[in-house]
Structure 1
Amino acid sequence: MKKYILLIISLINIAVTGVFIAFNPNEELPSHYNVNGIADAYSSKWMLLFIPSILVLFSIIYAIYAKVKENDENYKSYRKYAVRCIVSMFAFLFLFFWMLIALVLQNKVNIDNLFLPLTCIFMGCMFVYLFNLMPKIKQNSLLGIRTNATLSSKSVWKKVHRFAAYFGVICGIAVIILGIISLFIINISNVLFFISIIILLLSAIVPAIYGEIIYSKERTSNNYIE
C-alpha cells in the first residue's frame, strides 16, 4: 500500500487543480514564459492540467519500480533511502508546480520576481536534504554518485559519499542564499539562477572527479604493493 501513497496524493492533486481551473474566470492563461519571466504564449486554461499530470506519471513510474523490486534483496538494503529520495523529489516538484500553477491562475504576465528566486530556494533545500543522506547509502546501482570508480571499490564509495555530503550541503546552502538575495534584487535574478544551476551541477561533478582521483591512487597503491 505504501508504494501507492504518492500516486493517490498526485491523483487528488490533479483533481484539486481541476477544481481551481474550473472556477477560474479566464478561458485562456499563459502557457509559456520567456527567459525574462514574461508571458509570450497563451492557451486554454485546461492545458494547466499538464503540470500536475507530471506528478501522476512520476508516481506511476515509482509504484511500478517498487513493485518490481519488492523481492529484490539488493534493493531492500537501500530501500529506506530510495524512498526518502523519491519523497523529497516528489515534495520539491509538488511545491514547484503549485507555485507555478498559483502564478498562472492569477494570469500573471511577469513571474520573474518570484518564480526564479523561489525555484532556487526549493532546489537548494532539496539538495541539502538529499546530500545529507549520502554517507548513509551503501554501494548500489541506483542511488548516489555512481561511476566506475565508486562501483568498483567500497572504500572509494564511502570516501566519495562522505565528501559529497559536505560539498553538496554547502552547494545547496549557497543556492538557497542566492535565491533569497534574488528575492530582494530582482534585476539580477536571471544571473543568480544561472549561477545556482552551475553550483548544483558542480555538486555532482566535483565528487565524481574526486572519486576518479582517489580510485586511481588506490589502484596505483595496490599495484605497487603487488
Structure 2
Amino acid sequence: MSEKYTFKTELRHEWYIFLIIAAVLILGVVVYPALPEQIVVHWNVAGEPDGYGSRFFGVFGLPLITLGLYLLLLFLPVIDPRRRNYAQFATVYRWIKLGVVLFMLGLHLVTLAFNLGYRIDIGNFVTLAIGFLFALLGRGLPQIKPNYFVGIRTPWTLANAEVWTKTHRFGGKLFFWSGVALVIGTVLPDRIRFWLMMALIMGSSLGTAVYSYFCFRQENNANEE
C-alpha cells in the first residue's frame, strides 16, 4: 500500500534538497565580496546583458525564491481535495520537485559565474536546462494521477479521469520530445534557438490543452451513443 502524503513523510525523503539550497546560499556568502555592486541578472535574445540588480539580490534573491517555491510545492498537496492520489505518484513528484530546484539553482550559479568573469553562453545554458526539465516532465507526466495542482490541469482533464490519463500520456510524449529537441537545438544560432525554445514551450502547453478538449468531446460522444 502506498505511503500517505504528509509533510513528515516528504521531509524524510527530501531533506537533501534543503542542504542543496543551503550550500548554494553559503557559496553566495563566500563569493559576495568578489562580485561588483551591480550584477547582470538578465540577458537579451542575443545573449547580451540588458538587466542589472543589486549584489545582495543577485546573490540571495533566486535561492530564496527557490526555497519558497519548493516549500509551496511541498505544501500544496496537503490542501488538495485529491490529496490521497499523491501517494500513487510520490516518487515522480519528488523528482519533479528536485528538477525544479536544480533548474532554478543552476540558473543562479551560472549567473554568479558570469558576474565573476567567466564567459558563459547564458542563452545556451537556459535552452539546455529547459530541455532537460521538459524531458524529466515528459517521463513523469504519464504517472501523475488526477489532482488540482500537478500535471496538465484543464477543465476537461479535471472533469474526466479517462481524459486525464490519455492527455498525460500524450503530453508526456510531447514534453519529452520537445525537451530532446531543445537539447539538440543548443547547436543552433542564438536567435533561431530562442524562437525554437518559445515555439516548443508554447506548442507543448497549448497542444496538450487542445488535445484534452478533443479527447473530452470524444469521450462524451462515446458515452452518448
Instruction: Output the TM-score relative to the length of structure 2.
Output: 0.81
Distance 1:31 1:139 in 2: 37
For the residues of structure 2 that align with 1:41 and 1:147, how far apart are their CA atoms?
Answer: 35
**Is the 8 Å Cα contact of residues 131 and 168 (structure 1) preserved in structure 2?**
yes
Q: CA deviation at 1:41?
A: 5.6
Q: Is the 8 A contact 1:29 1:45 kept in 2?
A: yes
Q: CA deviation at 1:25?
A: 6.4
**For the structure 1 residues 131 and 53, does the alpha-carbon distance in structure 2 shift closer, same or farther, using more than 3 Å as the test?**
same
Q: Quick one: which of 146, 154, 162 aligns to 1:147?
A: 154
Q: Quick one: which amino acid aligns to residue 163 of structure 1?
A: F
* Cα distance, 1:8–1:62 mapped onto 2, change above 3 Å: farther
Partners in 1 of 2:39 and 2:221 — Cα distance? 61
**Which amino acid is 1:101 matched to?**
L
CA contact (8 A) 1:125 1:176 kept: yes
**What is the CA deviation profile of residues 85-105 of structure 1, one whole-angstrom value per residue up to 9, with x for unaligned ones?**
111111111212211211122
Judge conservation of contact 1:116–1:190 (CA < 8 Å) in 2.
no
Instruction: After superposition, give the CA deviation of every residue in 1:98-128 in whole Å (9 maximum; x if it has no partner).
Output: 11211122176xx6xx111111111101110
Q: Give a deviation string over 1:32-72, Cα, whole Å, max 9, x none.
A: 54443333565553332223222232233345446767xx5
Can you give the 5+ residue segments of structure 2 that lack an aligned partner in the other structure? 1-10
Decide whether the 8 Å contact of 1:29 with 1:42 is kept in 2. Answer: yes
Report sequence identity in percent: 22
Q: Say if 1:30 and 1:144 are closer, same or farther in 2 by CA, change over 3 A.
A: closer
Task: Return the match for 2:181 from 142, 151, 174.
Answer: 174
Cα distance change on mapping 1:156 and 1:73 into 2, 3 Å: closer
Instruction: Say which SS state the counterpart of residue 39 (structure 2) adopts.
Output: strand
- For 1:86, the equivalent position in structure 2 comes to 97
**1:29–1:105 contact (8 Å) kept in structure 2:** no
Aligned residue for 1:158?
A: 165
Count of aligned pairs: 211
1:37 is matched with which residue?
47
C-alpha distance in 2 between matches for 1:44 and 1:143: 34
Aligned twin of 1:215: 216
Shifted more, 114-123 versus 50-59: the winner is 50-59
Gaps of 5+ in 1: 183-187
What is the CA-CA distance between 1:77 and the residue it aligns to? 3.4
- Of 61, 68, 75 in structure 2, the residue corresponding to residue 57 of structure 1 is 68
TM-score between both structures, scaled by the size of structure 1: 0.80
- Distance in 1 between residues matched to 2:133 and 2:67, nearest whole Å: 20
Question: Highest Rg: 1 or 2?
Answer: 1
Q: Distance in 2 between matches of 1:25 and 1:152?
A: 51
The one-letter code matched in structure 1 to 2:133 is M
Q: Aligned to 1:29, what secondary structure does the other structure show?
A: strand
Matched, 1:136 2:143: yes
Deviation at 1:141, TM superposition (A): 1.6
1: CA distance between counterparts of 2:51 and 2:201?
30
Letter in 2 for 1:201: M
> What letter is aligned with 1:149?
W
